A and B are shown apart, each in its own frame.
Chain A
C-alpha cells in the first residue's frame, strides 16, 4: 500500500535531549512538510522540502532541524533549544501537479518528561 508513515506514535523527551521523528513516504512525492499541532489548535508549518537536498523554514522553525537526503524520507529533529516541544507532530507529502493534495501521516505525540 502506498502511504506515508510516521514513527514513533508516542515519544518522550528528557530535559536537554534531542529527539528525532521519522517520516517516510512511498508515494514518489517530491514535496514533504512538517506541521505542529497544539491541543485544540490548528496546524503550524515547521519546515518543508520541495526536492531532495533542499528545505525551507516555515512559520515556527526555531528549535527544530530537518534533512532531506532521500526523496522518501524527511526526518524532524526537535532540539534542546525548543523549550516547549510538547505537541502533536504531523508529516505530509504531496506531488508536483497542479491539483495535487496533501497526504498526511498518522502523527507523533511528543511529550516532555
Chain B
C-alpha cells in the first residue's frame, strides 16, 4: 500500500495560490493519485485525480512529476471558504483497501 506524507498544516492569505505537496515514494504502477477536501463534521469530497503529468479542473490543478513519487495540489486564489483539511490518497480503485494519510490542515486568513 502506498503510504503518503503531507505537511500537517499550512497558512495562506486570501487571493494567494496554495500548493500542497504529497510524497508517495512507493506508488505502484496502477495507482492513481486523488485529492479530497474535508470540512468539519462532513465527509471528504473529491477535488481532483490524476495518473501522470498535469490535470486541471474548475477548482484545482494537480502536478505529477515523471517518477510519480510525489504530487502537488494547486489551489488558485484561495478564499476563506477553502479553509479545510486536504487529503492525498494513492491507490488503485480496483485493488482496495484505500488508506488515508493524516492530511494537511489549510487555514486561509483574510
Residue positions of A touching B, CB distance < 8 A: 31, 33, 35, 41-45, 48, 50, 56, 58-59, 88, 90, 92, 94-107, 109
Contact = CB atoms under 8 A, between A and B. Distances in A.
Interface stretch (B16-24, B42-50, B67-75): B42-50
Interface of B: 30, 32, 34, 36, 41-46, 49, 51, 85, 87, 89, 92-94, 96-103
A97 B94 CA distance: 7
A22 to B, nearest CB: 15
Given A42-B103, A56-B97, A98 B43 contact: no
A25 B60 CA distance: 28
Contacts of B99: 45, 58-59
Given A104-B44, A106-B42, A98 B102 contact: no
Contact of B43 (A31, A45, A58, A106): A106
Chain B interface helix/strand/loop/mixed: loop
B102 A42 contact: yes
Contact of B41 (A35, A95, A96, A109): A109
Contacts of A56: 96-97
A43 B87 contact: yes
A98 B94 contact: yes
Given A35-B100, A102-B46, A107-B43, 7 more contacts: A43-B100, A45-B100, A48-B98, A88-B41, A94-B93, A96-B93, A98-B93
A90 B97 contact: no
A92 B42 CA distance: 12
Contacts of B94: 96-98, 100
A96 B96 CA distance: 10
A72 B106 CA distance: 34
10 contacts: A44-B100, A45-B97, A48-B97, A90-B44, A94-B93, A96-B93, A98-B30, A98-B92, A99-B49, A104-B45
